[in-house]
C-alpha cells in the first residue's frame, strides 16, 4: 500500500488563524482525503511553531510565561481546524518533549558529521521575521522588506551550519527529481537561489532563551527556523521510533506558501543531508490570497479574516469547496466574499444540491421512491469516465481547483440531461426509469468525488440515495466506475443540502 505523508507548515503561534492558513490546511485535508479513498496509507500533520523572540516578547508584554502564551494561542489553531473539519492525524507543537528530543538528535548528528562550526555573527535582524537580512535586501533606513519595520543590528557568537557544503548535492537532487517542487515556477525560483551560491548560515542564538537548548553548548538555543523545520521529522518518529521514521519519511509531502520557499526547499534538504538522511521530501507551493471585492477589503487584509467568518455564511462544506475551487494552487489568487458566495451558489446550491433534490423528488413521484438501475450505454457514462480521469490526475498533481472543475462537470451535465429529457413530464414507466437510473448513478459518482471537499454533505447525500455504508469508505477508482448503483434502493428527500445564499 503506497504511503502519503502530508504536512501543513506549523503555523506561528502568535498569529490568529486566518483564511490564508486555512487555504493551506484545507488543501492538505482534501488531498489527503483523496489519497485515503485511493487506499493509500495516509498520515496528515499540522501544528504550531512556538519558539523564538517574538513569542518571548509578546509573553512579556502580556505578563505571561512564553509557555502560557503558547498554550493559549496554540488552542486557537486547534479550534479553527476543528471548525473547518480537518481530519489531521496529528497536531504537533514545537514545545513538546518529543520535538525537543528530535531537534537535539538531528542537529547533534549534523554537528557530529562536521557540518557545524562556531563563529561571530553580526547583521541586521528583523525580530518579526526571526531572520537576519543582507543590507541589500532591506528597505531604506534598514527596514524589513516584509514588515516595513526597522531591523536591529545584532552581534553574537553563534554556531553556523555549513550550508555551502551542500551546493552540489542539492543541485544533484534537483537534477534527479524533476518534480521535487511543484508547480514548476517555484522549482525555478529555488534553482535560482541555488545558482547564486550558498553561504553558511547561523543556526543558534545566545541572545534569547525561549528555544531548544543546543546539546553541545549550554549558552545557546537553536534559531527558530532550525527548530521549526524539524517538526516534520519529529512527527513520524525521528528520535523515538526509527522504524516508523524509515517507513514514512520517503513519503513526505510538504505543502507551503511561497514566502517560506527558501527555508523549506534549500535549508531543510541540506539539514537532512547533514544528518545523514537520504530521502528528500516533495514540496507543493502556493501563492498568496489577495483580498478583493467590496465587503471584505474594508477589513483590510486577508490575515484579518477568520475562517469562521466564511463558514457562518457558506457552512463548513460550502466554504471548503469554494475556497479550493476558486483559488488554483500555485499562483496568487484574489479572494472576495462576493466570488465565494457566487461559487457556492453556482456549484453547490444550483448544481450539486439541486441535482440531489431533483433526483429524490422525481424518483419519489415517478418511480415509487425506488431508484432504477442505470443504463449501461448511458450518454453520461462517457462524461463520468472523462471527468474522473481528469480529476484523478489533477488531485495527483495537487490541483484541487481543476479536480473540482472536472467533478462539477458531471453534475452540470447530469442536470442538463434531466432538463433535456424532462422526466417530470413523463408517465411512470421504462422511459422515466432509464433517465432516472442514469441520473442517480451520476449523482452517486459525483458524491464520491466531492467527498474530499464536502465530506458532511456527501455523506448526507449518500444516505438520501439509499446507498449502504459511507462515502468515506468507497474505494477509488472502482467506486467511480459507471454501473455501481445497483437499483432498487429507497431514495429519500430532505431539506436542501446547500440552501442558496444571498450575495
Catalytic residues: 18, 21, 126, 129, 144, 147, 295, 298
Q: How far is the CB of 154 from Zn ion (least distance, A)?
A: 14
Nearer to Zn ion, 103 or 126 (CB): 126
Residue carrying the nine cell digits 481528469 = 390
Nearer to Zn ion, 149 or 385 (CB): 149
**Helices 455-464 and 354-366, packing angle to 10 deg:** 10
Please report, as residue ranges, which positions from 117 to 136 form the binding site for Zn ion (by CB under 5 A). 126, 128-129
Q: Is residue 289 at the binding interface for Zn ion, with CB under 5 A as the rule?
A: no
Q: How far is the CB of 259 from Zn ion (least distance, A)?
A: 11
Characterize the bridge pairing of strands 370-371 and 489-490.
antiparallel
Contact of 51 with 94, CB cutoff 8 Å: yes
Q: How far is the CB of 144 from Zn ion (least distance, A)?
A: 3
Q: Is residue 472 at the binding interface for Zn ion, with CB under 5 A as the rule?
A: no
Characterize the bridge pairing of strands 252-257 and 282-286.
parallel
Please report, as residue ranges, which positions from 36 to 75 form the binding site for Zn ion (by CB under 5 A). none
- Report how far residue 470's alpha carbon sits from residue 473's, in angstroms, rounded to the nearest whole number: 6
- Report how far residue 128's alpha carbon sits from residue 145's, in angstroms, rounded to the nearest whole number: 11
DSSP 88-104: -SEEEETTSHHHHHHHH
Q: Show the binding pattern over residues 426-465: x = contacts Zn ion (CB under 5 A), - = does not.
A: ----------------------------------------
Q: Is residue 500 at the binding interface for Zn ion, with CB under 5 A as the rule?
A: no
Give the dihedral of Cα atoms 95, 101, 104, 105; nearest 10 deg.
-150
Beta bridge partners of 43: 5
Q: Is residue 147 at the binding interface for Zn ion, with CB under 5 A as the rule?
A: yes
Q: Is residue 144 at the binding interface for Zn ion, with CB under 5 A as the rule?
A: yes
Q: Is residue 146 at the binding interface for Zn ion, with CB under 5 A as the rule?
A: yes
Q: How far is the CB of 230 from Zn ion (least distance, A)?
A: 22
Nearer to Zn ion, 128 or 258 (CB): 128
With contacts defined by CB under 5 A, how many residues of the chain interact with Zn ion? 6
In terms of C-beta density within 10 A (0-12 exposed, 13-18 middle, 19 or more buried), how is residue 390 classed?
A: middle
Q: Is residue 382 at the binding interface for Zn ion, with CB under 5 A as the rule?
A: no
- Report how far residue 420's alpha carbon sits from residue 413's, in angstroms, rounded to the nearest whole number: 10
Nearer to Zn ion, 139 or 191 (CB): 139
Q: How far is the CB of 150 from Zn ion (least distance, A)?
A: 10
Beta strands in 225-322, from DSSP E residues, in sequence order: 252-257, 282-286, 289-291
Peptide bond into 479 cis (omega under 30): no
Contact of 493 with 357, CB cutoff 8 Å: yes
Please report, as residue ranges, which positions from 173 to 202 form the binding site for Zn ion (by CB under 5 A). none
Question: 3-state DSSP call for residue 184?
Answer: helix
Q: How far is the CB of 142 from Zn ion (least distance, A)?
A: 11
Nearer to Zn ion, 133 or 255 (CB): 133
Beta strands in 39-78, from DSSP E residues, in sequence order: 41-49
Nearer to Zn ion, 129 or 385 (CB): 129
Characterize the bridge pairing of strands 333-335 and 289-291.
parallel
Q: Per CB under 5 A, which region of 145-153, 155-163, 384-392, 486-494 contacts Zn ion?
A: 145-153
Nearer to Zn ion, 78 or 143 (CB): 143
Q: Per CB under 5 A, which region of 95-103, 139-147, 347-355, 414-422 contacts Zn ion?
A: 139-147
Map 194-213 to HEC letters.
HHCCCCCEECEECCCCCCCE
Q: How far is the CB of 156 from Zn ion (least distance, A)?
A: 18
Nearest in space to 96 (alpha carbons), one of 64, 129, 74: 74
Q: Is residue 313 at the binding interface for Zn ion, with CB under 5 A as the rule?
A: no
65 is written with which cell numbers?
510565561
Contact of 464 with 491, CB cutoff 8 Å: yes
Cα angle 298, 301, 306 (rounded to 5 degrees) comes to 95
Q: How far is the CB of 125 from Zn ion (least distance, A)?
A: 9
- Report how far residue 162's alpha carbon sits from residue 198's, in angstroms, rounded to the nearest whole number: 9
Q: Is residue 340 at the binding interface for Zn ion, with CB under 5 A as the rule?
A: no
Q: How far is the CB of 128 from Zn ion (least distance, A)?
A: 4
Nearer to Zn ion, 90 or 152 (CB): 152
Nearer to Zn ion, 146 or 177 (CB): 146
Residues that bind Zn ion (CB under 5 A): 126, 128-129, 144, 146-147
Amino acid at each position: 500500500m503506497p504511503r502519503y505523508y502530508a504536512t501543513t507548515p506549523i503555523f506561528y503561534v502568535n498569529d490568529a488563524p486566518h483564511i490564508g492558513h486555512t487555504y493551506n490546511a484545507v488543501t492538505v485535508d482534501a488531498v489527503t482525503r483523496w489519497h485515503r479513498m485511493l487506499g493509500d496509507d495516509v498520515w496528515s500533520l499540522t501544528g504550531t511553531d512556538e519558539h523564538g523572540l517574538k513569542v518571548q516578547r509578546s509573553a512579556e508584554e502580556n505578563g505571561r510565561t512564553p509557555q502560557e502564551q503558547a498554550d493559549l494561542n496554540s488552542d486557537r489553531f486547534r479550534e479553527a481546524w476543528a471548525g473547518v473539519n480537518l481530519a489531521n492525524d496529528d497536531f504537533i507543537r514545537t514545545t513538546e518533549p518529543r520535538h525537543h528530543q528530535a531537534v537535539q538528535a538531528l542537529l547533534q548528528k549534523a554537528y557530529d558529521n562536521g557540518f557545524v562550526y562556531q563563529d561571530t555573527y553580526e547583521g541586521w535582524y528583523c525580530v518579526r521575521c526571526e531572520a537576519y537580512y543582507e543590507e541589500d535586501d532591506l528597505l531604506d533606513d534598514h527596514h524589513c522588506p516584509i514588515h516595513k519595520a526597522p531591523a536591529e543590528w545584532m552581534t553574537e557568537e553563534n554556531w553556523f551550519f555549513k550550508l555551502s557544503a551542500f551546493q552540489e548535492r542539492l543541485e544533484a537532487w534537483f537534477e534527479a527529481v524533476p518534480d521535487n517542487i511543484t508547480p514548476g515556477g517555484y522549482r525555478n525560483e529555488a534553482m535560482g537561489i541555488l545558482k547564486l551560491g550558498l553561504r553558511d548560515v547561523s543556526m543558534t542564538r545566545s541572545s534569547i532563551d525561549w528555544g531548544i537548548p543546543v546539546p553541545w553548548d549550554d549558552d545557546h538555543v537553536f534559531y527558530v527556523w532550525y527548530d521549526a523545520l524539524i517538526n516534520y521529522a519529529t512527527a513520524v518518529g525521528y528520535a523515538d521510533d526509527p522504524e516508523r521514521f524509515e517507513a514514512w519519511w520517503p513519503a513526505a509531502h510538504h505543502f507551503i506558501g511561497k514566502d517560506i520557499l527558501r527555508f523549506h526547499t534549500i535549508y531543510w534538504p541540506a539539514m537532512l543531508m547533514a544528518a545523514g538522511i537520504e530521502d528528500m521530501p516533495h514540496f507543493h507551493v502556493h501563492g498568496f490570497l489577495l483580498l478583493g471585492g467590496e465587503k471584505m477589503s474594508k477589513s483590510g487584509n486577508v490575515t484579518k479574516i477568520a475562517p469562521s467568518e466564511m463558514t457562518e455564511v457558506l457552512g463548513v462544506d460550502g466554504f471548503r469547496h469554494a475556497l479550493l475551487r476558486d483559488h488554483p494552487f500555485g499562483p496568487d489568487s484574489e479572494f472576495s466574499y462576493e466570488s465565494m458566495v457566487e461559487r457556492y451558489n453556482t456549484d453547490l446550491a444550483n448544481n450539486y444540491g439541486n441535482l440531489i433534490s431533483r433526483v429524490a423528488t422525481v424518483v419519489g413521484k415517478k418511480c415509487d421512491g425506488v431508484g432504477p438501475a442505470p443504463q449501461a450505454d448511458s450518454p453520461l457514462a462517457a462524461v463520468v469516465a472523462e471527468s474522473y480521469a481528469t480529476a484523478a490526475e489533477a488531485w495527483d498533481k495537487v490541483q484541487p481547483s481543476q479536480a473540482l472543475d472536472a467533478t462539477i462537470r458531471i453534475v452540470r451535465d447530469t442536470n442538463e440531461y434531466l432538463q433535456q429529457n424532462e422526466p417530470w413530464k413523463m408517465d411512470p414507466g421504462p422511459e422515466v426509469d432509464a433517465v432516472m437510473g442514469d441520473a442517480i448513478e451520476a449523482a452517486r459518482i459525483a458524491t464520491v468525488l466531492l467527498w474530499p471537499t464536502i465530506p458532511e454533505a456527501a455523506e448526507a447525500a449518500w444516505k438520501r440515495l439509499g446507498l449502504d455504508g459511507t462515502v468515506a469508505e468507497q474505494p477509488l477508482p472502482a467506486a467511480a466506475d459507471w454501473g455501481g448503483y445497483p437499483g432498487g434502493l429507497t431514495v429519500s428527500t430532505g431539506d436542501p443540502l446547500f440552501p442558496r445564499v444571498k450575495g
